[in-house]
Amino acid sequence: MTYVPDSSRYAAMQYRRCGNSGVMLPILSLGLWHNFGAITPFETQQAMLRTAFDHGITHFDLANNYGPPYGEAERNFGLHMERDFRPYRDELFISTKAGYDMWPGPYGDHGSRKYLMASIDQSLKRMKLDYVDVFYHHRPDPDTPIEETMGALDQIVRSGKALYVGISNYGPEQARAAIKELKRLGTPCLIHQPNYSMLNRWIEDGLTDVLREEKVGCICFAPLANGLLTGKYLDGIPADSRMAKDSRYLKPAALTDENLNKIRALKDIAEARGQKLHHLALQWVLRDEVVTTALIGASRPEQIVDNLSILDAPALTQEELEQIENILRG
């Protein structure tokens, strides 16, 4: 049946400005890293994308190697574009990336112009798009001059294949150098995509200062620590969870006493606020406006709707923030 998006899709979502650009992003964005490859039914993927867009989630994040197999999430997204989203292209903000291993040989990995220029063409073809809204370099490459990598991003924008560029997983000094070079080239860096959650706070150690100073947006990925911050692993590994179904990146080794004790204590704070732990975790990453949006994943549409309940939740109080700080510092 033809998809007709909910006419009230923009009523409840909140949008934040991305750095000092003209772009507004929803405070929750949807990533297609897991559950959009060959092992997830097409109907489930479709229901997740439709649910997200119906609730004002306008930003979908991909990468060349999301799958499995590599490329499959982009290929599936291309089919969803054709079936559902083509009439709404101008309402969507779509990103992809290159920087990790993608194809065999010396030109399918890292940060060379050779790799990035080929990868964007492949991604556009798979996604059936004329352009992406953001093209990222997925991780720093210490062996390629920053001028070469950023020069490729600049050229991708100038050739109309991307509207904006971003960097992901760059440390503070690497980010500063990339931002400076992009500025010199006349293609400002729109956004940085780092890992950030209550269990992984590395960006507070310099990166957020750089982003604030340079007025670059921040989309933090895995704000629920791959699902750990839902509390679903407190009593074992549920059969329908990521750790049970696809543990390539979330292994039982993450269930340390230290993590589980923190998660239990954080869950108590959430419950005292009348909410679930994952809602607290999402509000917490968004507590400082240096973070533009929290980039969540989902395995079913109900999780997306559930996470939207943060839109009506009271802000975290100073006292709650201090309690959380004490727990996280251990």
Ligand X SMILES: NC(=O)c1ccc[n+]([C@@H]2O[C@H](COP(=O)([O-])OP(=O)(O)OC[C@H]3O[C@@H](n4cnc5c(N)ncnc54)[C@H](OP(=O)(O)O)[C@@H]3O)[C@@H](O)[C@H]2O)c1
Binding residues for ligand X (CB under 6 A): 31-34, 61, 138, 168-169, 193, 221-227, 230, 232, 241-242, 278, 295-299, 303, 306-307
Closest residue by Cα to residue 154 from 113, 187, 112, 111 = 187
Chain centre distance of CA 127: 18
Residue with token string 């975290």: 316
Of 159 and 201, CB closest to ligand X: 201
Of 1 and 253, CB closest to ligand X: 253
Of 48 and 324, CB closest to ligand X: 48
Closest residue by Cα to residue 306 from 25, 58, 77, 55 = 55
Work out how close the CB of 143 gets to ligand X at its nearest, in angstroms, rounded to a whole number: 19
Of 218 and 222, CB closest to ligand X: 222
- How many CB atoms are located within 10 Å of the residue 204 CB? 11
Of 34 and 75, CB closest to ligand X: 34
Work out how close the CB of 269 gets to ligand X at its nearest, in angstroms, rounded to a whole number: 17
CA distance 130 to 121: 10
Quote the DSSP letter at residue 237: -
Closest residue by Cα to residue 71 from 80, 62, 84 = 62
Backbone φ and ψ of 99, nearest 5°: 165, -20
- How many CB atoms are located within 10 Å of the residue 298 CB? 22
Work out how close the CB of 195 gets to ligand X at its nearest, in angstroms, rounded to a whole number: 6
Of 42 and 158, CB closest to ligand X: 42
CB 163 within 8 A of CB 131: yes
Work out how close the CB of 232 gets to ligand X at its nearest, in angstroms, rounded to a whole number: 6
